[in-house]
Structure 1
Amino acid sequence: MSITARRKVGIASAIVGVASAGVAAGALAKRYAVGRIRLRPDPEASEPLGELRGRPTTVTTSDGVPLYAEVDGLQDAPLTVVFCHGYTLNLDSWHYQRRDLGEAHRLVLWDQRSHGRSPRIPTEDCSIDRLGDDLAEIVEALVPGPCVLVGHSMGGMTIMALADRHPELFGDKIKGVALISTSPGKLGEISLGLPALLSKAVHKVTPGTVSILRRGGALVDKSRQVGNDVAFLALRHLGFGDSQNVSPTVVDFVESMIRSTPFEVIAEFYPALMSHDKLSALGVLDEVPTSIMVGDKDWLTPVEHSKAMAAALPSARFTEIPESSHLVQLERPALVNNALHELLKRAIADTDAGDENR
């Protein structure tokens, strides 16, 4: 080997060595950061997140999808609360609401199609309108009397699609609605907390990137399984408003739900979320008591989107929850549950008044 060739090999080896050292140092830094976070006192360390279970059941939809659901709580309660979870999550994301509301109310929790324990479905069936039809069939099959619907993120959009496609259910069967960290539409225009030009660039390249990654979904999922430290730190920062004090146990719990959702599912529902537009359907919700909640630091479904819904629903109760982000029902469960208790009281009062007038 010539001196020039040996020199090139030496330089290349040095570059590889420095790069490898940098990767290793970065990995060690992440492990150190995560390790320090986990050593802090964690009041939620003993909370049985994801372990609460109700009576399992299956509702087969009109297009043949067997949706997984659980019936829990006080079975002879006069009111049923139906929980609709968000994008990439599952019914366990309602842990604190199930725990605190079940003593006085009958509960129905379900996994939206392709999420949680519900089976994967074809891409063409990944629409918000179809989710609204699914909810109608869940209500018909599992709710014998009046009910209140509670939706987070994509679950709130599911409720809006139900209002658009089945308005006759509101006021008679459905006595109240809670919309948590959700949006009536125009998600493709949000800033994601970025400067305007950078935000536009991200929105422009994201659909194509998601489509490309979807084709290699299995490989992407493998990389997600080994990237837990990175995912933990990213979710802690982006998913929670008070990232310094949020429970590591709660962050791990959410990260495990997201990681269990195949990337192909994430990619298949992405276009539906971006094209969602149900602002015109909100008038249907004026027929019933409605509560709108959002974290003041939510960058996925910003406060402005909830304010737009509140403007379209003058009688709705609007709650902006401080120091919280998109996962507000897990980050500030006491405040969310207080608002839900207030909504349920209003729904029961309206139900009783309706019964007296008959």
Structure 2
Amino acid sequence: MTRRRKVGIAGAIVGAASAGVAAGVAVKRYAVGRIRLRPDLEANEPFGELRGRAQTVTTSDGVGLHVEVDGPEDAPVTVVFCHGYTLNLDSWHYQRRELRKEHRLVFWDQRCHGHSDRCSREDCTVDRLGDDLYEVIQAVAPGPVVLVGHSMGGMTIMALADRHPEVFEERVRGVALIATSAGKLAEITLGLPAMFAKLVHKALPPTVRALGRRPDLVEPSRRLGNDVAFLALRHLAFGDSKNISPTVVDFAETMIRSTPIDVIADFYPALMSHDKLSALPVLERIPVTVLVGGEDWLTPPDHSKAIADSLPRSQLIEVAGASHLVQLEQPGVVNDALRDLVSRAWRLAPERRTA
């Protein structure tokens, strides 16, 4: 096997979490072709087309963050959405579509993702993301806020609690932590037997570093490997993969593929070393919803249960059959949970409202 072919396969592994389902080009194309022939109720959904009032928030270290504000400006609460690793603000498509009439919404691309500026590898840390969120809140979210984070976005909220606990006393009225973890991501099994999981975790860090150093070789291979990524992402990130819309899978895969491989490599060590369990008590006085897919292999339900156990007053929702991209797979469940959270946040803390 040539070096280029090896790098191409490895790029697909990182870009879509795993490409182990690829058993050959002919089989792959046949499988994808059969999937795409099924009825697709989401075929006409305008993914990536919903837009808000765009602006740029420049951080204290000079990074321009792309921000979009949606919904009525006079809404009593602003809901701030923090997306996950390798995604962008469009990953909240269904939440924007359904909640924009009710609430003032803020969506932002985390540094190096989407339309936000790149930064140095040294600044690709979860702590820096927490600082970014603080600056976004200060710039575009006046008054009470509810924070919603998916995967890395949930870690961003935990970093905010760790570095700026005062904002939870003064501004934050509720938090939703979706398919995320407070730490120990390096111990997840990805649904593999323990021995194989150990080998994967041993091999991934050097592989990711190597890929990040040669984006010129990896990126063309990622573009050529769309069917591999489609099957892998459908298998790992969506629980009920037989019924998930191919258009939704394509949409998620496009977001992942648009994230440069060196960005994926730069953030990977920060996510594996993330540990913010000690910051969770900052959230004890506000309503917290912890939501996870029952079939999530990337941030397994046990990680959400550990968060909920640290926050006895929190509400834990495990969505049966769903996986890591639960906000795309089961948007109705997620939207209902967010509506309930905003209602509880406003109702249970009237004495803390900001005029």
TM-score normalized by structure 2?
0.92
Q: Given the alignment, which residue of 304, 311, 314 partners 1:313?
A: 311
Is the Cα contact below 8 Å between 2:144 and 2:353 reproduced in 1? no
Deviation larger for 179-188 or 72-81: 72-81
Q: With CA pairs under 8 Å and 6+ residues apart, which has the higher RCO, 1 or 2?
A: 2
Distance in 2 (CA, whole Å) between partners of 1:289 and 1:103 is 23
Q: How is 1:256-295 mapped onto 2 (pairs within 5 angstroms)?
A: 256-295=254-293
**Structure 1 residue 29: Cα displacement:** 2.4
**One-letter amino acid of the structure 1 residue matched with residue 130 of structure 2:** G
Q: 1:30 is aligned with what amino acid?
A: K
Q: Distance in 1 between matches of 2:349 and 2:98?
A: 22
Partner of 2:194: 196
The answer for the alignment partner of 1:239 in structure 2 is 237
Computed over aligned residues only, the root mean square deviation of the Cα atoms, in angstroms, reads 1.3
Instruction: Find the counterpart in structure 1 of residue 12 from structure 2.
Output: none
Query: What whole-Å deviation, never above 9, does each CA across 1:182-221 have from its counterpart, x for those lacking one?
Result: 0000101111111111111111111111111111122111
Unaligned runs of 5+ in 2: 1-22
Counterpart amino acid of residue 119 in structure 1:
D
Match of 2:179 in 1: 181
Q: 1:287 aligns to what SS in structure 2?
A: coil
C-alpha deviation, 1:352, in angstroms: 3.0
Counterpart AA for 1:265: V
Aligned to 1:61: 59
When residues 34 and 355 of structure 1 are mapped into structure 2, their CA distance, relative to the original with a 3 A threshold, is: closer
Q: Corresponding residue for 2:6?
A: none
1:171/1:288 contact within 8 Å kept: no
Q: Distance in 1 between the 2:214 and 2:200 partners? A: 21
Any residues of structure 2 matched to 1:98-177 within 5 Å, and which? 98-177=96-175
- Residue aligned with 1:178, SS: strand
Q: Residue 240 of structure 1 contacts residue 324 of structure 1 at CA under 8 Å; is this kept in 2? A: yes
Read off the aligned partner of 1:45 and give its amino acid letter: A
Q: Give the total of aligned pairs.
A: 333
- Give the letter aligned to residue 187 of structure 2: E
**Secondary structure, aligned partner of 1:132:** helix
- Measured in 1, the distance between the counterparts of 2:254 and 2:268 equals 20
Secondary structure at the aligned position of 1:171 is classed as helix
User: In the TM superposition, what is the alpha-carbon distance from 1:351 to its structure 2 partner?
Assistant: 4.2
The answer on whether the counterparts of 1:329 and 1:336 sit within 8 Å (CA) in structure 2 is yes
Question: Residue 303 of structure 1: CA displacement?
Answer: 0.4
- Which of 222, 225, 229 is the equivalent residue of 1:224? 222
Which secondary structure state, in structure 1, belongs to the residue aligned with residue 316 of structure 2? strand
Give the CA deviation at 1:173: 0.5
Is residue 95 from structure 1 mapped to residue 89 from structure 2 by the alignment? no
User: Does 27-36 or 179-188 show the bigger shift?
Assistant: 27-36
Determine the C-alpha separation between the residues in 2 that align with 1:287 and 1:233.
42
Mapped partners of 2:86, 2:220: distance in 1: 17
Q: 1:45 and 2:43 equivalent?
A: yes
Distance 2:350 2:309 in 1: 28
Task: Mark the CA change 1:30 to 1:121 in structure 2 (over 3 Å): closer, same or farther.
Answer: same
Residues 156 and 179, structure 1, Cα contact 8 Å, conserved in 2? yes
Contact 2:145 2:174 in 1 (8 A): yes
TM-score (norm. length: structure 1): 0.91
How much does 1:146 deviate?
A: 0.5
Verify the 8 A CA contact 1:153 1:182 in the aligned structure 2. Answer: yes
Q: Which has the larger radius of gyration?
A: 1
| CA distance 1:355–1:86, change in 2 (3 Å) | closer
SS of residue matched to 1:330: helix
Deviation of 1:71 after TM superposition, in Å, equals: 0.4
- Which consecutive unaligned segments of at least 5 residues does structure 1 have? 1-24
Shift of 1:110: 0.1
Query: What amino acid is the match of 2:258?
Result: S
Aligned with residue 205 of structure 1, among 175, 200, 203: 203
